[in-house]
Amino acid sequence: MATVLTTENISGARSAISTYRSTCDGIFQSLRNDITSLTGSDFLGDASVGYVDFFDQITPALTTNLTGTEESVTSMLESLLTAVEQMLNPVDPQLGNANKNAANSENN
């Protein structure tokens, strides 16, 4: 089934990426707060330190690599949308009009 991609579709996708980024950032912050609270006073010792170390090691995957502003999954999606959006717009509208007019003048 053929579909037509529009700039509205791209705007919707950009909005969805922004919502996804904000949601992930909020969940990450909540998780960080829970871990800080858990390891602050009730959970002490080597196990606690190991838990915090593990969280620190996976933090880049949950932030920089997923929703960061450069080289993250969401940034790559935004770049892809920019490229697609540029393909939707004519590169040279004047040339396009000249070609349309040339085709019409030959048929007359």
Report pLDDT digits (tens) over 40-64: 877 888 989 998 999 999 999 999 9
pTM of the model: 0.72
What local confidence, expressed as pLDDT, does residue 93 receive? Answer: 72
What is the distance between the alpha carbons of residues 81 and 87, in angstroms, rounded to a whole number? 10
Q: Which two tokens stand for residue 89?
A: 């717009």
What is the distance between the alpha carbons of residues 27 and 20, in angstroms, rounded to a whole number? 11
Of 66 and 90, more confident: 66
Is residue 95 predicted with pLDDT exceeding 70? yes
Report the 10 Å Cβ neighbour count for 12: 11
What is the distance between the alpha carbons of residues 18 and 25, in angstroms, rounded to a whole number? 11
pLDDT bin (cut points 50, 70, 90) of residue 107 is low
